[in-house]
Amino acid sequence: MRHSIKPFLAIEINDRASEMEKQGIDVVRFSLGEPDFKSPKVVKNACIRAIRQDITRYEHSQGMIELRQAIAHHYRKKYRVKIGPEQILITPGTSQALFLIFSVLLKKGDRVIVPNPHYPADTNFVEYSGGEVIPHPLSEETGFHWDLSLLKKQISPKIKAIFVTSPANPTGALTTADEYRFMARTGHFIIADEIYHGLTYKGEEHTALEFTDKCFVVNGFSKAYAMTGYRLGYVIAPKKYLEAMRLIQQNFYISVTSFVQAAGVAAITQAQEDVHRMRVEFEKRRSVMLTGLKELGFPINYVPEGAFFIMANARHLSRNSLWLAGDILKKAHVAVTPGEDFGSQTRGYLRFSYATGIPRILEGLKRLKGYLSSHFVCQKL
């Protein structure tokens, strides 16, 4: 067997939580990687309308032209970057987009700078395509932001690309204009996963496209639009690579679900108020979660600027966050994700997702408080 990819610990914890729920145990999920919101009504209605109108046949392998036009317009309006529909490939989610990018970009042995911590699949994408991961360690002291002096040292002709996620999973850190500018100046490709755009609470969202054309920008509808189950994403790429990616998609996938693309048009053109409403709610939750975790003694010394995650240092409780996450689930019935899942830099951390309502966040914090007071002697820092 050629490819053996390790399972995500996050999913393992979620699976165990599901098992407990089946046994009738109420579990508070701070482990979720998707919004708990329903998808916007205009989106649902557009999807239903498309099915009724029998938009149920193969679409163009590059994606529905109306959707690509809407995306191009969105980028002109929001980021003032000029891209055309011919530079966009619609994909079944951003994961597939990343798979396609690395498939066409990397030759065996090409090196890609990937932050540590990172979304677990990120290194799998690189390695599956024969690339080599050059980890760029991020630390809480700098708010999990890029270390530009280190990045300067890591730059070499062997590097093919720099892989950015902004806002980042698992830390929530937002890549700044300065960071993007620095990366652009290296002359390497930037691969920017911007799927959490729209969910930023501090600072300004920038797309890599503002700083260079030598980039692949990945985005989609799962997070800001609460459309995870639709499976709809896209990549904006240099034309030369776009055509190669389209041909792989045509071979391995044919086209993206047709009526889902119609739903995407409605999302981008009619659901901005919904996006705003959810963002406001996420911001409130973030505040409740941050305050609560600090009160429980977690020394959180950075500002998670976006997405819906907080990385909390839990080394005062245990160096082994996989054990700790398991123990918390078992004893407090709260599911959290061990930091190990995201790389060595966040060993001993726990990832808290606030993609769940405030009453549940408060309930989870209460349970954690009970757990900590029963099992640890903790002092507020």
Which residues in this chain contact a copy of itself in the complex, by CB under 8 A?
1-8, 11, 33-34, 38-39, 44, 47-48, 51-52, 54-59, 61, 92-93, 95-96, 98-99, 103-108, 121, 124-125, 128-130, 226-231, 240-241, 244, 247-248, 250-260
**What is the closest distance, in whole angstroms, from the C-beta atom of residue 166 to a copy of itself in the complex?**
20
**What is the closest distance, in whole angstroms, from the C-beta atom of residue 348 to a copy of itself in the complex?**
25
Report residue 51 CA to chain centroid gap: 29
The Cα 173–Cα 200 span in angstroms is: 9
The Cα 160–Cα 216 span in angstroms is: 12
Q: Looking at beta carbons only, is 262 or 314 nearer to a copy of itself? A: 262
Q: Reply yes or no: is the peptide bond before residue 117 cis, omega within 30 of 0.
A: yes
**Residues contacting 142, CB < 8 A, separation 6+:** none
- 88-97 b/e with 16+ CB inside 10 Å = b? bbbbbbbbbb
Q: Looking at beta carbons only, is 2 or 77 nearer to a copy of itself? A: 2
Q: Looking at beta carbons only, is 58 or 77 nearer to a copy of itself? A: 58
Q: Looking at beta carbons only, is 55 or 296 nearer to a copy of itself? A: 55
The Cα 309–Cα 332 span in angstroms is: 20
Q: What backbone phi and psi angles, to 5 degrees, belong to 228? A: -50, -50
Q: Looking at beta carbons only, is 176 or 270 nearer to a copy of itself? A: 270
The Cα 59–Cα 63 span in angstroms is: 6
Tokens of 231: 């499976």
Secondary structure letter of residue 347 according to DSSP: T
**What is the closest distance, in whole angstroms, from the C-beta atom of residue 119 to a copy of itself in the complex?**
10
**What is the closest distance, in whole angstroms, from the C-beta atom of residue 372 to a copy of itself in the complex?**
31
Q: Looking at beta carbons only, is 197 or 223 nearer to a copy of itself? A: 223
The Cα 40–Cα 230 span in angstroms is: 12
Secondary structure letter of residue 129 according to DSSP: T
**What is the closest distance, in whole angstroms, from the C-beta atom of residue 294 to a copy of itself in the complex?**
30
**What is the closest distance, in whole angstroms, from the C-beta atom of residue 306 to a copy of itself in the complex?**
20
